Structure 1
Amino acid sequence: MLNTKDIRNIAIVAHVDHGKTSLVDQLLRQADALTRRESTQRLVMDCNAQEQERGITILSKVTAIDWKGVRINIIDTPGHADFGGEVERVIDMANAVLVIVDAVEGPMPQTRFVAQKAINKGLKLLVAVNKVDRPEAQPEKAIDQLYDLFVTLGADCEQLDFPAVSCSAKEAFAYDAFGEVNTENGMTPLLDMLVNNVASPTVMDEKEPVIQIHQLDYSEYLGLIGIGRVISGSFHRGQKVAVNAPGEDARFCQIKEVYHQQGLSRVAVDYGVAGDIIALTGISDIAISDIVTSRGNHVELEALEIDTPTVSVKFSVNDSPFSGQEGKVLQSRELAERLYLEASHNVSLHVTEAEEAGVYEVSGRGELHLGVLIESMRREGYEFSVSRPTILMKSDAGETQEPYEKCYVDCANEFMGKVIEEMAYRKAQFEHSQPLDNSHQRLLFLGPKRGLLGIRHTLLSLTEGSASIHKEDVGYGKKIVGDIGCRREGVLVSNGIGKALIYSLSSLQERGRLMINHGDQVYQGQIIGAASNDTDLWVNCRQGKNLVRMWRTVADKNYAMKAIMNFSLEQALTWINSDELIEVTPKAIRLRKAMYSY
């Protein structure tokens, strides 16, 4: 049976695109933890289709490798702020945190967020400076900046005495950051650092089995799966246990199977021992913070913090004239079942029934968090409508408050005026600027989340795609009066049903920017473009050229179409107004007016 002293639990954290998943990928290959089929894939930890397409980690995952007789449980965490709740929960299962920083960019906003969590919990800090193979890399500067950041965040002397390696996940090498450059040993120096500098897990003295659930997963065959680190004792298949939830009476059940990770696979084991990170099945109503222990044993542990949702949208059945033509799942009952199933294991997501019949309010951490759910459902064949996101307020001592965010914008000097003007319109206050080089600045703004919805797409348009935008939640503040961040342009709305024709579209494109092409089917109330002014225009896009039996002395006009607007799901969510909806089907995303009789 596995010995607790031979276990290391390590969480890997970093800012978006600093190479967490790529680095874990190389560690798995170095330790020969992948099967022959898995070894042919890139970024094997991003197994979700949307993770591969978006190039980000959405769900935190646990993998494990064996290195020199030691089992290393590695927790890969998301780097995007919308999935920060995943980081906060799973970091409690670790005894140390490996902070990865880009050798070119240095510490970024999300680096600060996750490092603060690790320092507050007193975890051991380790550092890996990634992407040192890039010509402009400055690993020494990145380590100095990270040291200054740790000091600012209140790290103690032991945490500041961190070991560090320089590495390249792309080229698969690592070496001691404070020693000579040596790229011949692969990722061995990084693995040795994890084994030699991280202590084995601390466990309780008692022999009774105790585990607290930090993460949930779901399987069509096994149901809900509870994941956590064993605090004391051991768990085995068929064991009769008690589940203690904060403020509730104990529930009695039986464990069906015990699993732990081996590479990318979840493997059934005879015993889940103290200190190891395991998964339990058979507990149908298990939840985050639940304590699983033997019957008759009473244990009290501090409940885990779960990020409260700040943004909500309304899901409803699709009632447009094109309803049922592209999707397979249309009924309100099936829509509700799918949403409640998602909320059962995605604990940062809340689902409630709205006042309107057949409408469900879904709350999450941000537009990307909700966009991932919507995209997953449309790929599963669901067809539904979604409203514009609304911000969830809270009341404190009779005063209404709303969530605020810090927004970091890296842009060229020539675009600074446009960026500051746009942020001022959204009621975001300019805090300060920091020069990055002779031609670029990092601007910091503080503003209400209500105004910063969809800011990424807007700023990329203003800066010709060159800006880098990062946001960070900072809590609640005084609510600002008035509408903020609403669209400043009207829309072009189809006044009938039929096929859009180029004869009409060529003249309509002079009134705004179109979203449809020649031959697309449209219906009455569908939004087909953005107007040039702030007024909604109902237009006929189905009129064709009148054909008459007469000779013309001049050639017919050449009807040319300009480039059309293409919105991603997240862009559409924040572009529409409160009186509009997004029609989501497996084949299309359409915008339409909400209240209109077809």
Structure 2
Amino acid sequence: MNNHPRNIRNIGIIAHVDAGKTTTSERILFHTGESHRMGEVHDGAAHMDFDPEERRRGITIHSAATTVRWRDVQINLIDTPGHIDFNIEVGRALRVLDGAVVVLDGVAGVEPQTETNWRLADRHGVPRIAFVNKLDRTGADFERVVASMRERLGVIAVPVHMPIGAEAGFVGVVDLLRMRALTWVRDDASQPPQNTAVPIEMLAAAQAARERLLEAVVEQDDAALEAWLRGEEPSLEQLQRCIRLGVQRRALVPVLAGSAFRNRGVETLLDAVVDWLPAPGEREGSVDANVDAPLAALAFKVVADEHGSMVFVRLYAGRLRRGDMVLNTGTGRMERAARLYEMHADKRVERDELVAGEIAAVVGFKDTLTGQTLSDPAHPVQLESIAVPEPVIHLALEPRTKADQQGLSRALHNMLREDPSLRLRQDEESGQTILSGMGELQLEVAVNKLRERYGVEVVVGRPQVAYRETIAAAAELSHVHKKQSGGPGQFAQLTLRIEPLERGAGVQFESRIVGGAIPREFVPAVEAGVRRAAEAGPMAGYPAVDFRAVLLDGGFHERDSSAMVFELAAAHALRSVFLKAKPQLLEPVMAVEVITPAEYLGDVIGDLHRRRGQVRGHALRVGATVIDALVPLKEMFGYIGTLRALSSGRAQYSMQFDGYQVAPQAVAERAAA
């Protein structure tokens, strides 16, 4: 096995739900010889969707890793979820990948979750190629999808294929680099594509498309550009190099055509992964994947069960051998790599050693969590961690029996290790266990996992919205905390000013103390008191956000002042000054896309308005109308049932978190009640 970093590709398959990601991954497994039977999502037999919940629902919930080989290159592939509720899986996969294949539905084009995942990939600097899938479906239009990429994603999308045939008559592609036609005469992958001349009726259009391709890619290489300007025809090798450079610089996105379900275009997609996506250490801004350097690895996923934990890691430098002791620089503790595994979906192949550039799983790490760095104890390093989104929805859980009470704590501990976007807290008033997450589906799946995987029965409350509190004006308050009860006294005096910040700014703290009005060692205690009080705002007990607290002045007593007293004083001062600063309730608002037959358009828009929705526009799509709206999350509970009733079951929708907006007074009063 030649696992030198240059012979490795770490890639993800990302897309909107139902664009065909998992089917594409399944076909990659089949064509590379990793599986000998084509798993299908629709019949619950997909190799990559091996979790029972995934097979029952027909969607990807957990990112699944597998290893395949194509043209002597090892491809570590992660199939990610398309549903917004499981976006943490996409984010943490993109953090450790060197490239991605973005799958687009040939009918729908760029969809909301495509945009979300695209922005995530931008944030992590991940180079991409695009695969326009499902071109055999009624209404599929390759050119329209490419245009939607340019318009909605703002990228230089460069088609390297031209489809041969349309809809049910889609049989192949013109390879614009080689000016050859590739056609698939059977759907079952029993024969390789036929390599023939470009059909005469397509020749003029193909030559024009090739000119546009050359114009877009030769700019990536000075020598190729100069030769092209002199009228010389670039060689295939020059064109491949230009595209590879453009992809790695994220200057362009090559667009391929196909139908994964009918096995059309899978081989050319694999060739594109090998030819154009970067090897470890090649993409701009990445660390050189040196196998002889000290170990540096990032844990990006934890799978926990009753037998222990399996930690997925990406090695950025060095080697990891079975039995090695490594340092978790996040905890300062040593961990032992008892076993190393190359993953093939739910199957494992044991390895003796992993090298820089590889993605694999480790058994034996007891305290390692998502986003923590593992390094050589003699050369500790700290890699950038993984951002975790804030939850927008809560669910109250109560165990049915005393036995369930004992199992619930252990099960939730494991589930939170696996999915850091789930949060847990105890409600101080009711004593209930509150589980928080990114959406109804995520929490529904979590409750099913409690029952089916861990055998814990729970009583589930209604979903609750994760409101926030903020302020609309600045305010200032002086507060004295003074207590004398026979023993040591308590004294702290401070002047606190708060002022509003933009959405998403969180809580900021600043000290403007001069002249020792408050000793320097007590200032961190004031900040701690402010942040503790902000965890439960004074309006209705929701977290207070998007404000700056400024410590302006204060006073202290030589004997009666302490850090604890200043923390108490600051917490009280914040709660009091917050109520003077025009407090407001913020509610999560969702970007909603509804796809409905035109005859139901008026009813659907009317219903969205009743839900306090703001319709931003609507557009025609083949056989349907697409509505773009912003709707408060509170109003979207149970929406699928209403939508089905309004449209005789023919409409569908997707939504994702857009941001927080000020809630109307009536909503604020109900939330505070």
Give TM class, smaller chain: 0.7 to 0.9
* Residues 1:337 and 2:410 are matched in the alignment: yes
Contact conserved, 1:15 with 1:110, CA < 8 A, in 2?
yes
Q: What is the letter of the counterpart of residue 116 of structure 2?
A: F
Q: What is the letter of the counterpart of residue 601 of structure 2?
A: M
* Separation in 1, partners of 2:7, 2:84: 34
Other-structure match for 2:18:
17
Contact conserved, 2:102 with 2:128, CA < 8 A, in 1?
yes
* Separation in 1, partners of 2:158, 2:92: 26
Deviation, structure 1 residue 296? 2.8
Choose from 405, 429, 438 the match for 2:614.
429
Go from structure 1 to structure 2 and tell me whether the alpha carbon gap of 1:174 and 1:2 turns closer, same or farther (over 3 Å shift). Answer: farther
Contact conserved, 2:26 with 2:39, CA < 8 A, in 1?
no
* Separation in 1, partners of 2:37, 2:27: 15
Most deviating of 176-185 and 140-149: 176-185
Other-structure match for 2:81:
78
Larger radius of gyration: 2
* Separation in 1, partners of 2:439, 2:81: 14
Contact conserved, 1:237 with 1:270, CA < 8 A, in 2?
yes
Other-structure match for 2:427:
354
Q: What is the letter of the counterpart of residue 477 of structure 1?
A: Q
Go from structure 1 to structure 2 and tell me whether the alpha carbon gap of 1:24 and 1:444 turns closer, same or farther (over 3 Å shift). Answer: same
Choose from 288, 291, 305 the match for 2:370.
288
* Separation in 1, partners of 2:368, 2:132: 39
Matches within 5 A, 1:449-528: 449-483=633-667
Contact conserved, 2:440 with 2:463, CA < 8 A, in 1?
yes
Go from structure 1 to structure 2 and tell me whether the alpha carbon gap of 1:61 and 1:253 turns closer, same or farther (over 3 Å shift). Answer: same
Contact conserved, 1:13 with 1:114, CA < 8 A, in 2?
yes
Choose from 388, 392, 411 the match for 1:310.
392
* Separation in 2, partners of 1:210, 1:446: 43
Choose from 198, 208, 214 the match for 2:294.
208
* Residues 1:141 and 2:144 are matched in the alignment: yes
Choose from 82, 89, 94 the match for 1:91.
94
Other-structure match for 1:192:
271
* Separation in 2, partners of 1:191, 1:136: 26
* Separation in 2, partners of 1:350, 1:150: 32
Go from structure 1 to structure 2 and tell me whether the alpha carbon gap of 1:410 and 1:215 turns closer, same or farther (over 3 Å shift). Answer: same
* Separation in 2, partners of 1:28, 1:440: 34
SS in 2 for 1:111: helix
**For this pair of structures, how many residues does the alignment match?**
468
Contact conserved, 2:26 with 2:38, CA < 8 A, in 1?
no
SS in 2 for 1:331: helix
Other-structure match for 1:371:
444
Go from structure 1 to structure 2 and tell me whether the alpha carbon gap of 1:38 and 1:13 turns closer, same or farther (over 3 Å shift). Answer: closer
* Residues 1:415 and 2:600 are matched in the alignment: yes
* Separation in 2, partners of 1:353, 1:164: 56
Higher helix share: 2
Contiguous gaps of at least 5 residues in structure 1: 319-323, 487-576, 580-598
Go from structure 1 to structure 2 and tell me whether the alpha carbon gap of 1:264 and 1:331 turns closer, same or farther (over 3 Å shift). Answer: closer
* Separation in 2, partners of 1:21, 1:359: 38
Contact conserved, 2:50 with 2:346, CA < 8 A, in 1?
no
Deviation, structure 1 residue 304? 1.2
Deviation, structure 1 residue 264? 5.0
Other-structure match for 1:497:
none
SS in 1 for 2:3: coil
Other-structure match for 1:492:
none
Other-structure match for 1:220:
306
* Residues 1:405 and 2:556 are matched in the alignment: no
Go from structure 1 to structure 2 and tell me whether the alpha carbon gap of 1:255 and 1:332 turns closer, same or farther (over 3 Å shift). Answer: same
Other-structure match for 1:390:
464
Deviation, structure 1 residue 265? 2.2
* Separation in 1, partners of 2:325, 2:597: 62
Other-structure match for 1:127:
130
* Separation in 2, partners of 1:371, 1:482: 29
* Separation in 1, partners of 2:397, 2:585: 26
Other-structure match for 2:632:
448
Q: What is the letter of the counterpart of residue 360 of structure 1?
A: T
Contact conserved, 2:15 with 2:117, CA < 8 A, in 1?
yes
Contact conserved, 1:130 with 1:166, CA < 8 A, in 2?
no
Deviation, structure 1 residue 89? 1.1
* Separation in 2, partners of 1:422, 1:233: 58
Cα deviation digits, residues 70-101 of structure 1 (max 9, x gap): 00111100001111111111112211111111
Deviation, structure 1 residue 331? 3.0
SS in 2 for 1:280: strand
Go from structure 1 to structure 2 and tell me whether the alpha carbon gap of 1:41 and 1:346 turns closer, same or farther (over 3 Å shift). Answer: closer
Go from structure 1 to structure 2 and tell me whether the alpha carbon gap of 1:311 and 1:231 turns closer, same or farther (over 3 Å shift). Answer: same
* Separation in 2, partners of 1:417, 1:171: 35
Go from structure 1 to structure 2 and tell me whether the alpha carbon gap of 1:36 and 1:119 turns closer, same or farther (over 3 Å shift). Answer: closer
* Residues 1:55 and 2:58 are matched in the alignment: yes
Other-structure match for 1:570:
none
Contact conserved, 1:230 with 1:274, CA < 8 A, in 2?
yes
SS in 1 for 2:666: coil
Other-structure match for 2:49:
46
Contiguous gaps of at least 5 residues in structure 2: 185-191, 194-262, 282-286, 469-543, 548-577, 579-583
Q: What is the letter of the counterpart of residue 294 of structure 1?
A: D
* Residues 1:232 and 2:356 are matched in the alignment: no
Contact conserved, 2:394 with 2:436, CA < 8 A, in 1?
yes
Other-structure match for 1:510:
none
Most deviating of 279-288 and 171-180: 171-180
Q: What is the letter of the counterpart of residue 414 of structure 2?
A: L
Other-structure match for 1:33:
34
Go from structure 1 to structure 2 and tell me whether the alpha carbon gap of 1:163 and 1:300 turns closer, same or farther (over 3 Å shift). Answer: farther
Go from structure 1 to structure 2 and tell me whether the alpha carbon gap of 1:110 and 1:38 turns closer, same or farther (over 3 Å shift). Answer: closer
Most deviating of 450-459 and 56-65: 450-459
* Separation in 1, partners of 2:310, 2:460: 30
Contact conserved, 1:234 with 1:273, CA < 8 A, in 2?
yes
Q: What is the letter of the counterpart of residue 591 of structure 2?
A: K
* Residues 1:182 and 2:187 are matched in the alignment: no
Contact conserved, 2:108 with 2:621, CA < 8 A, in 1?
no
Q: What is the letter of the counterpart of residue 309 of structure 2?
A: L
SS in 1 for 2:130: strand
Go from structure 1 to structure 2 and tell me whether the alpha carbon gap of 1:314 and 1:421 turns closer, same or farther (over 3 Å shift). Answer: same
Contact conserved, 2:30 with 2:38, CA < 8 A, in 1?
no
Deviation, structure 1 residue 421? 2.2
Contact conserved, 1:12 with 1:100, CA < 8 A, in 2?
yes
Contact conserved, 1:213 with 1:228, CA < 8 A, in 2?
yes
Contact conserved, 1:128 with 1:165, CA < 8 A, in 2?
no
Contact conserved, 1:165 with 1:189, CA < 8 A, in 2?
no
SS in 1 for 2:665: coil
Matches within 5 A, 1:534-549: none
SS in 2 for 1:402: strand
